[in-house]
Structure 1
Amino acid sequence: MNRMQLNALLVLVVAGLAAALYFTQKKEDKGAPLTTLAADAVTSIRIEHPGQPTIRLDKQAGRWQLTAPVQAATDPFEVASLVNLATQETKRKLPLAEVKLGELKLDPPQFSVTLNDQKLDFGDMEPLEYRRYVRVGDAVALIDDPSSTAVDADYSDLVAKDLLPAAAELQKIEVPGLTVARAADGKTWTANPAAADASSDALAAFTEAWRKARAMWNAKMPADGGQGEPITLTLKDGAAVHLVLVSREPQLILDRPDLKLRYSLSKADADTLLKLPEAPKPAPTGDAAGAATPAPAAAPAKP
């Protein structure tokens, strides 16, 4: 048998082995969902940690709202992590008779999440594949560990990063050293104290910056928080949002005492939220730019 025939035979053997492996290998079936609920059927969520206030979220007119321990708009990405628990894949399921709940930290559970009326008790992490033990009814399931920011005892991550509701209409903005208010015509804005550079464009940009202001992240306001310069955002319906300017560097930090919440914004936001935009500087003229004026041509010499 020459080398060419030998190579061809080896190719056929390898191909045959690959085909046999492909057709005989048992494909792993996808695990069942953690609950029988469809994600869009979830309308209420409760998160309970021992010794901590219950966190409650309710779906109202198609939008999720935090309703306890405070009332606030929610971050859709964080809430999605909770809603998706309903259909999260079960990697393995164990009957209660085969486990010791205390050893899995399920008696009592570390915390519980209730979707509508379906209670999920969360226990310890499985040490080999780092999956979470969850008691569901009369069984214990193993699932991929959910986002800790969504299920922990601190509700701050669940609150919307936007400082104002999307539909909010501002009437007056009071920041340290400056007040910008809607004029009597309801369309234009005025500044107090008045400034030479308080153009209509600058005032509109200032109010729009506040309307779209968004934190990079939220945190629980510390016990000694709420100390600083007051900021008041009055809405057109008469409601007001009270903030406290804590610091400008290294990030712009604003506390919201009624929600016990601390917003961390970009340092650059201090330039758009705490003062009016600077008027554009006029383009330099030739003289202002230091350009030399051409000297007059010399008169021809007399013969």
Structure 2
Amino acid sequence: MKSRWLVNLALLLVVAGIVAFLYLKPQEHEETDAVHEVSNLKLADFDRVSIEFPAKAPVVFEKKDGFWYLVQPYAARADQVTVQRIVSIVAAQSHEKLPADDPARFGLDNPRLKIKLNNEEFVFGLYNPVTSEQYVAYKDAVYLLSGLYSETASTQLLEMLDKNPLKPGEEIAGFDFSRLEQWQEVRLQLDKGEDGKWQVSVQNAKPSQDDINEWFDGYWTKIRALSVEPYTPDRRAGYPTFSLKLKDGKQVHFEKLQESPQLILGRPDEGMRYTFPADIGFTMLNPPVGLGK
């Protein structure tokens, strides 16, 4: 009994010592690093982005009707998310704000690239070997920022293009597949009525509304190509064509430039061509209209 009592007393003394130590220990106050706003500019303030490189022509985007378009080195629809990521540098924050009185120290005398948003210029220099962040000059200060801004701005140009073959605001109301080889005999057309139901032009077709809606939602509502690039339409080539009917009454025409091993569609009015995997491409052009049931 006596030994058990001594053990309990010892444990009590240990606990009391720990409590006293924690109580009497000086409180440590964590020092938080100051955070510096790179600018007080707003994302919506800009309608022009110019990316300038030391040894090649600049890449220029302009905003029209709320959407970004590539204007140099050629005209094309831009990937909206990519351009927004570049413009978002105006909202960047940094734990370092240094005077810009020695550009060579940060590699800013020979910058890797410049981003100009309207008349606001951001200059990109060396990477900090400790933090892997990049020195960026704006106005009279130098900041350490994530390298994602310059990496996004340096993305291959083709990856900056919109992979959706439809323009913003173009809504599909129907399809004219009558000029494609597999549908020439029946002159297939699909039209979506105001009640949301699909009408098929073929008399003996027995379409399932659920099947057509699943096909439309899966392959045309959020359509995105594997890749997109400029091309020069050739009227003499005689490619098979089809059209998308839009809700505003207009039509968009596409050329089937290649069917295998990948489907390649050309959009002559924009001079762009879109590449899709073969399985997806086949299904895009072959809706389940219920023939042969």
Taking structure 2 as the reference length, what is the TM-score of the superposition? 0.69
Identify the residue that residue 161 of structure 1 maps to in structure 2. 163
1:141 alignment partner, SS class? strand
Q: 1:244 aligns with which of 257, 260, 270?
A: 257
Identify the residue that residue 39 of structure 1 maps to in structure 2. 43
Q: 1:76 aligns with which of 72, 75, 80?
A: 80
1:144-155 to 2 correspondence within 5 Å?
A: 144-146=146-148, 150-152=152-154, 154-155=156-157
User: CA 1:107 to 1:245, structure 2 compared with 1: closer, same or farther past 3 Å?
Assistant: farther
8 Å CA contact retained: 2:230, 2:273: yes
Q: Note the aligned Cα RMSD (angstroms).
A: 4.1
Partners in 2 of 1:148 and 1:99 — Cα distance?
18
Identify the residue that residue 223 of structure 2 maps to in structure 1. 214
The answer as to 2:61 corresponding to 1:57 is yes
**Gapped runs of 5+ residues in structure 2?**
1-8, 232-236
8 Å CA contact retained: 1:90, 1:143: yes
Partners in 2 of 1:60 and 1:82 — Cα distance?
17
Identify the residue that residue 136 of structure 1 maps to in structure 2. 138
Structure 1 residue identity aligned to 2:284: L
1:13 alignment partner, SS class? helix
Identify the residue that residue 31 of structure 2 maps to in structure 1. 26
Structure having the higher Rg: 1
User: CA 1:96 to 1:275, structure 2 compared with 1: closer, same or farther past 3 Å?
Assistant: same
Q: 1:129: how far off?
A: 1.4
Percent identity among equivalent residues?
19
User: CA 1:25 to 1:140, structure 2 compared with 1: closer, same or farther past 3 Å?
Assistant: same
Structure 2 residue identity aligned to 1:244: L
Q: 1:122 aligns with which of 119, 124, 127?
A: 124
1:11 alignment partner, SS class? helix
Partners in 1 of 2:204 and 2:57 — Cα distance?
51
Q: 1:151: how far off?
A: 0.8
Partners in 1 of 2:239 and 2:101 — Cα distance?
59
Identify the residue that residue 11 of structure 1 maps to in structure 2. 19
8 Å CA contact retained: 2:89, 2:149: no
1:215 alignment partner, SS class? coil
User: CA 1:110 to 1:231, structure 2 compared with 1: closer, same or farther past 3 Å?
Assistant: farther
Q: How many equivalent residue pairs?
A: 267
User: CA 1:198 to 1:54, structure 2 compared with 1: closer, same or farther past 3 Å?
Assistant: farther
8 Å CA contact retained: 2:255, 2:265: no
Identify the residue that residue 5 of structure 2 maps to in structure 1. none
8 Å CA contact retained: 1:164, 1:211: no
User: CA 1:15 to 1:93, structure 2 compared with 1: closer, same or farther past 3 Å?
Assistant: same
Partners in 1 of 2:44 and 2:111 — Cα distance?
27
Taking structure 1 as the reference length, what is the TM-score of the superposition? 0.67
Structure 2 residue identity aligned to 1:218: S
**Gapped runs of 5+ residues in structure 1?**
283-303
Partners in 1 of 2:270 and 2:50 — Cα distance?
18
Partners in 2 of 1:35 and 1:241 — Cα distance?
44
1:2 alignment partner, SS class? helix
